[in-house]
Amino acid sequence: MQTHLDCVPCFIRQALEAIRTASDDPALHESLLRTLCKEISTMDLSTPPPVMVRTIHRHVKRMTGLADPYAELKERFNQHALELLPSLREEVAVADDPFELAVRLAVAGNSIDFGTRHDISEELLGRVLTKARTAEFLGSIPRLRQAIEDADSILYLADNTGEIVLDHLLLDQLPLDRVTFAVRGAPIINDATMADAKRTGIAQRVRTIDSGADLPGTLLEESNPQFQAAFRHADLIISKGQGNFETLNTDPSGKIFFLLMIKCGVVARDLNAPVGTFVAMPQSELRNRTMKVHEADCLSRK
Amino acid sequence: MQTHLDCVPCFIRQALEAIRTASDDPALHESLLRTLCKEISTMDLSTPPPVMVRTIHRHVKRMTGLADPYAELKERFNQHALELLPSLREEVAVADDPFELAVRLAVAGNSIDFGTRHDISEELLGRVLTKARTAEFLGSIPRLRQAIEDADSILYLADNTGEIVLDHLLLDQLPLDRVTFAVRGAPIINDATMADAKRTGIAQRVRTIDSGADLPGTLLEESNPQFQAAFRHADLIISKGQGNFETLNTDPSGKIFFLLMIKCGVVARDLNAPVGTFVAMPQSELRNRTMKVHEADCLSRK
């Protein structure tokens, strides 16, 4: 997915929120804003949005000297989700369809995204979890079940801290001997890294690798050889979140299943569904859908 | 009021909305965005936000060759408000307190501001008019009544098209022989100009001048001599809208009474009230209020 002009106001909002999280110094806030605006004036719009998001957060780290400005928030939401996990597990165990409920709750976890908004709270997560239990999903949860049954090797691309704890619920439903779980190669926003996978018990139950990159998404050419091999070897890739969607939606493999919440207007337009929609969509359906949206766009312009 | 860093995402959003209103050419949209970001990277933040807003709209005019990209929207809301006016006038005439209701409806008209949002509709105006009839106002409508009674010369600074039609309701309550009505010197966003004052019957009933400037606000040093004289001569200035507020809130005259709806987070923070609040506030009260907010800010940082 290319960067849309409408991503730019969002880049700037996110940069301000990030630098304010990392520092109280107004001079740094202004300096980041000016640096970023200058870069946007010549940026390559053909790259997906997470590339500029990475640039923003690299600036924040450089300017503040903090390697992981979101460390406290990350631990807060890992801890909170770990507290929720036992009762959610019990709920899934006695559900009419444990797989479906596990998917719903794991996708609700994708709401813990400090890139798209800064006011995420435990209360918000609670409301999203409640909504996800009964909400209509864009795509098809049964098709994910089928894809998992058909797969010999599954790569699970994680997104955020806190969210990965809810990924336990979906991992409970998977043949773990055939699953590789992948996290980011370095801290970026509140995305999950190897430290989070260990902290939350993921790495202790499933083969866990990292991408080798500090990108809040997945670009194969920037990933390390181990990640590239896992990506190529897998016959099903379960991709969590908007950042992975924005970087992989046009991937030629055709073997990706996207699980995410729509959290911005640009992705909403791409998927032709409102912000807040829960998505469980195989890449094949995505292509048909996007093609239809573009056709409708072309027709409406005539 | 200085430009706040949080004004920047809003500048970019507004620029995109403005260029899309004026042209379907994506190359122009991108070009404006890049030009604007480059300018923001070196902009003077000590100027009030309407100065950069003017720059944006000057670029839009230059790039598209359109002198008044909002002409259609302006006529649409002038026309709509003119259709509403007779029944609103009847309502005011039989109200318990015609002056108070006239102020409430005139302030509601300030919602017709295509700078702060692009999805303004007749339905939205209807909802705001309903809300304004009973909403709590920040400030004091009785103090405006008193200020008008005490004034020998009143300068009424208009803001938007459509809105100026609802200003008729407040003009009905004023000693028109002591009032000068002022509009913008040239088209800027959907702000009212002399053509709109004539189109809506304002210029036919009250002395009407223009600022001589294409600024969506009021800077005395950029205004023509006639406007400067009216400003200096008046002992009460009724200032409509956010743009006039942002440029005049620190004016040393102390004789300004601000009527506006709060439509962005930066002004909301300045006035310590939520977006959507209706304001009828004399400058003296504003100073006390702002001082208190700043004190609270300082204390909360300790």
- How confident is the model at residue B291, as a pLDDT? 57
Question: How do A179-183 and A207-210 pair as beta strands?
Answer: parallel
**pLDDT higher than threshold 80 for residue A152:** yes
Q: What share of chain B is helix, strand, coil (3-state, %, to 5)?
A: 55, 10, 30
Beta strands at A179-183 and B154-157: parallel, antiparallel or unpaired: unpaired
B37 in A contact zone (CB under 8 Å): yes
Residue whose tokens read 């959507």: B276
Query: DSSP label at A62?
Result: H
Q: What is the pLDDT of residue B200?
A: 98
Residue type, A5: L
Q: Evaluate whether B72 touches B66 at the Cβ level (below 8 Å).
A: no
Subunit contact B10:A6, Cβ cutoff 8 A = no
Burial category of A177 from C-beta neighbours within 10 Å (exposed 0-12, middle 13-18, buried 19 and up) = exposed
pLDDT tens, residue by residue, A220-230: 999 999 999 99
| Partner A contacted by B45 (CB < 8 A) | yes
What tens digit of pLDDT does each residue of B161-189 get? 999 999 999 999 999 999 999 999 999 99
Q: Which residue among A5, A29, A38 places its CB closest to the CB of B16?
A: A5
CA atoms within 13 A on the CB side of B113: 24
Q: How does residue B290 score in pLDDT terms, banded at 50, 70 and 90?
A: low
- Chain B CB within 8 Å of residue A41 CB: yes
pLDDT 10s digits, B222-269: 999 999 999 999 999 999 999 999 999 999 999 999 999 999 999 999
Lowest-confidence region among A127-131, A228-232, B135-139, B284-288: B284-288
Residues in chain A: 302
What pLDDT score does B134 carry? 97
- Chain A residues within 8 A of B10 when measuring between CB atoms: 9
Determine contact: B296 vs chain A, CB below 8 A: no
pLDDT at residue A289, rounded to an integer: 73
Residue A299's pLDDT band, with cuts at 50, 70 and 90, is very low
For an interface test with A, give the residue of B34, B52, B56, B300 to mutate (most A CBs within 10 A): B34
Position B295 scores a pLDDT of 52
Distance CA A131, CA A113 (A): 17
pLDDT in tens, B98-137: 999 999 999 999 999 998 888 899 999 999 999 999 999 9
Residues A12-33 have pLDDT tens digits of 999 999 999 999 999 999 999 9
Read off the tokens for A76.
Answer: 């807060």
Cβ atoms of residues B49 and B1 within 8 Å: yes
Cβ pairs A/B, distance under 8 A = 53
Whole-number Å distance between alpha carbons of A158 and A88: 19
Task: Assess whether pLDDT exceeds 90 at residue A293.
Answer: no
Answer whether A16 touches B (CB < 8 Å): yes
Q: Does B297 reach chain A within 8 Å, measured CB to CB? A: no
Q: Report the mean per-residue pLDDT for chain B.
A: 94
ipTM: 0.87
Contact in structure between B160 and B112 (CB atoms under 8 Å): yes
Closest CA to B12 of A297, A6, A111: A6
